[in-house]
Structures are given as structure tokens and as C-alpha cells.
Amino acid sequence: MAESTQIVIPLYPGVTHLDFTGPHQVLCRLPGVQVVVASVGAKDIDADGLTFGGLADLAKVEHADVLCVPGGLGATEAMLDEPYMAQVNRLAAGAKYLTSVCTGSLILAATGRLRGKRAACHWAWRELLEPFGAIVDESRVARDGNIITGGGVTAGIDFALVLAAELAGEETARAIQLTLEYAPAPPFDSGRPETATPETRVRIARVFEGLMPDRRAAALEAARRLETV
């Protein structure tokens, strides 16, 4: 790893905070790494009842060695937010690694850089990668060249450990995992559609069903914009 590696996490309204705080907790412990959390205009970002302030101005971040885009319900609007996407595109152009967590991969896809590439996403929304020409990967962490993407929300910690091993070596990543006592042992085997009960799947499907039309429309519009560039 280079003596100084800059990881940039570009936030937007409606981001899911664990999508970036999970990876941040891992990545900020890497030697020789600076993690920059930024937003358009350095505006405070509200996320699930928490407010994140003291952010960098995304337009003033000169470069990203690693670009890490988090997901969230706000990704629907972020894909079509021209000022935000302009900065994501700018930083992505010079990044050594393009990465994301959850529906952050939809934002990466909206830059056109996932065409023909395997990418992970939250299980409920991963089909929306297809209009961008991305290849849906159901893995918890997917890698295709310099593109490393995590699945839904908590997969961000797994993703971050994979990235940590890439940047600083496996032993360093293992040490960080031990320091954080990351040894998941959930009380229910309900973290994937394949293992959740039918009742749970139906309950969550009803929630997401109402959100899908707007998300699909946004993905199709973002994909259309790529075709006209």
C-alpha cells in the first residue's frame, strides 16, 4: 500500500448510515489511510435519525484512491442528482478502486463504470443493476477487477475487511477484525431471502413493493442519461 491512501465516501440525503459507518470503522484503522467523508457543499446529512456534520465539501476533494459509495433509500434521488453525480464521476475517473455498499452500486452503475462488470447489491434491488449493463452477483462481497462491491447494509463490514486485506494485507485485516470482535452470531437465520421464513419474506416484500416503482423509474432514467452522454 502507498504511504498515503485516500478513501472518499460521498454521502447524500437519505443514505443508510451503517452502509458507511460500518466500513468506516474498519478502514479508519488502516495504517497510512485517510478516510474522507464528504457531501455536496459540505452540508450536514441526516440518516435514519442521526445527523452527520463536519463533512468535507465533495467538490473540494481533489482525488480518491478508493471511492466508496454507500447505499440507502436516498440512492433513488442521488442517481439523478446532477451536482452529486458530477463529483462522483470526477472522483471515479481517477480512483484505483471503485467500491460500494448496498444500493451504492446503483450509483456506481449510473456512472457507466459497471457495464459488463459483476456487482453486488441489496437483494431487494439488485435487479436494478441490469438496465446499466452490470452483471448481478448475489455474493455478499463481489469483485471484478478494481471494482469491489458489498451486498446489503451489514455486508459493508465484510466488504471493508476484503478491501483492508487488499490495501494492507490479510494479517492486518485479520487484526482489525479481532480488534473489533467481529464474529457475527445472529439470533435468527433471517438475513437472506433464502433463509428467512415465508411470513418474514411476505412482510418485507410488502414494504419494498411500494418503493420499487420509483426506484425502477430512477434507474431507467439514469441508464437513459448514460446513453445520451
The answer to whether 137 touches 127, Cβ cutoff 8 Å, is no
**Close Cβ partners of 25 (under 8 Å, ≥ 6 residues apart):** 157, 160, 180
CA 106 → CA 78, 120, 130, 168, 205, distances in Å?
10, 10, 10, 27, 20
Element (H, E) at 174: helix 170-179
Q: In the numeric block, which cell numbers belong to residue 5?
A: 491512501
Counted residue by residue, the chain has a size of 229
Task: Select which of 28, 68, 102, 121 is catalytic.
Answer: 102
In 137-214, DSSP assigns E strands to: 141-144, 147-150
Angle value at C-alpha 115, between 225 and 9, nearest 5 degrees: 80
The answer to whether 159 touches 177, Cβ cutoff 8 Å, is no
Our answer to whether residue 68 is catalytic in this structure is no
Catalytic residues: 102
